């Protein structure tokens, strides 16, 4: 039985932080960190009718639900709900882990949204590194968003996506890029390294991003397309200040507030081995 909009509204209000902006009932919208609704139509095929689909690192499940809306026959969403099991640099403290654990609430966002949508999407705890065609089968469409940045070994993760993609299937990744390195070096594969205090590792330019995909045995279909991820109502607005303007991170945050988070998406096909 469908949940009443008042029940959904009450459940949405029980969570202070949402990663995704989701309209769970008419006029009941989660205050997400990002509002990816304008982006989904550019990145996903118009129809996924009859396809077996995978969403890796699903968080509140926006991409899994979008795949379902496009007619997927089956959607599996995987995630690691305990932030302690993510790839952290050794310099990270407990404070940020605790904040993220609070935001994640053991995957409660996905649970609330799935019930509100009457979704049939499956949810499993699994690291991208552990995706296995024997255990999980193969998928016609594999999606992974905003996760390569957070992985110590992004190429291994891409190899795993390739491993669970059907031979005639598609892998779609959308991830953080460095816009300055992309502008200054359109053909040279370069990346900026973070690795300090937070689970942020490599931010490639577009040339490096395409090279990473190829290095994992995936053949890009066309080039990577830049996109800006719009902030949602849950993301604090960064105002220009001396402090913001005098640090690289401050300038990055200001630009992200104004223009959205810089990313690029790419569709690719698994190379036969």
The footprint of ligand SAM (CB under 6 A) covers 19, 56-59, 62-63, 79-80, 86, 127-129, 145-147, 150
Question: Which CB, 146 or 235, lies closer to ligand SAM?
Answer: 146
Kindly state the smallest distance separating residue 138's Cβ from ligand SAM, in Å.
Answer: 18
3-state secondary structure at position 61: coil
Alpha helices in 137-193 (DSSP H): 154-163, 179-184
Question: Which CB, 11 or 150, lies closer to ligand SAM?
Answer: 150
Structure tokens at 249: 């991170």
Q: How far apart are CA 115 and CA 120, in angstroms?
A: 9
3-state secondary structure at position 1: coil
2, exposed or middle or buried, with CB in 10 Å at 0-12, 13-18, 19+?
exposed
Question: Which CB, 3 or 149, lies closer to ligand SAM?
Answer: 149
Q: How far apart are CA 46 and CA 69, in angstroms?
A: 10
Kindly state the smallest distance separating residue 243's Cβ from ligand SAM, in Å.
Answer: 25
Kindly state the smallest distance separating residue 204's Cβ from ligand SAM, in Å.
Answer: 16
Kindly state the smallest distance separating residue 227's Cβ from ligand SAM, in Å.
Answer: 12
Question: Which CB, 51 or 160, lies closer to ligand SAM?
Answer: 160
Q: Which position's Cβ is nearest ligand SAM? A: 145
Q: Which residues pair with 54 in a beta bridge?
A: 76, 142
């Amino acid at each position: 039985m469908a949940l009443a909009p008042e029940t959904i509204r009450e459940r949405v209000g029980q969570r202070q932080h949402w990663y995704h902006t989701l309209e769970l009932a008419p006029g009941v919208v989660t205050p997400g960190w990002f509002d990816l609704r304008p982006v989904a139509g550019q990145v996903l095929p118009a129809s996924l009718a009859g396809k077996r689909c995978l969403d890796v690192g699903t968080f509140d499940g926006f991409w899994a639900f979008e795949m379902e809306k496009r007619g997927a026959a089956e959607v599996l969403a995987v995630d690691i709900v305990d932030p302690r099991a993510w790839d952290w640099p050794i310099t990270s403290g407990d404070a940020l882990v605790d904040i993220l654990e609070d935001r994640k609430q053991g995957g409660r966002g996905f649970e609330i949204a799935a019930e509100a949508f009457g979704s049939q999407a499956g949810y499993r705890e699994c690291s991208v590194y552990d995706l296995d065609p024997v255990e999980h089968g193969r998928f016609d469409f594999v999606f992974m968003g905003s996760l390569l940045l957070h992985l110590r070994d992004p190429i291994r993760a891409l190899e795993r996506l390739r491993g669970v993609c059907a031979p005639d299937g598609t892998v779609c990744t959308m991830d953080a890029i460095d816009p300055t390195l992309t502008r200054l070096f359109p053909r040279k594969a370069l990346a900026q390294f973070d690795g300090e205090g937070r689970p942020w590792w490599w931010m490639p330019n577009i040339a490096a991003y395409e090279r990473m995909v190829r290095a994992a045995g995936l053949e890009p279909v066309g080039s990577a397309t830049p996109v800006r991820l719009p902030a949602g109502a849950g993301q604090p607005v960064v105002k220009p200040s001396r402090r913001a303007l005098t640090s690289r991170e401050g300038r990055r945050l200001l630009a992200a507030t104004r223009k959205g988070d810089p990313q690029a998406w790419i569709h690719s096909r698994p190379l036969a081995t």
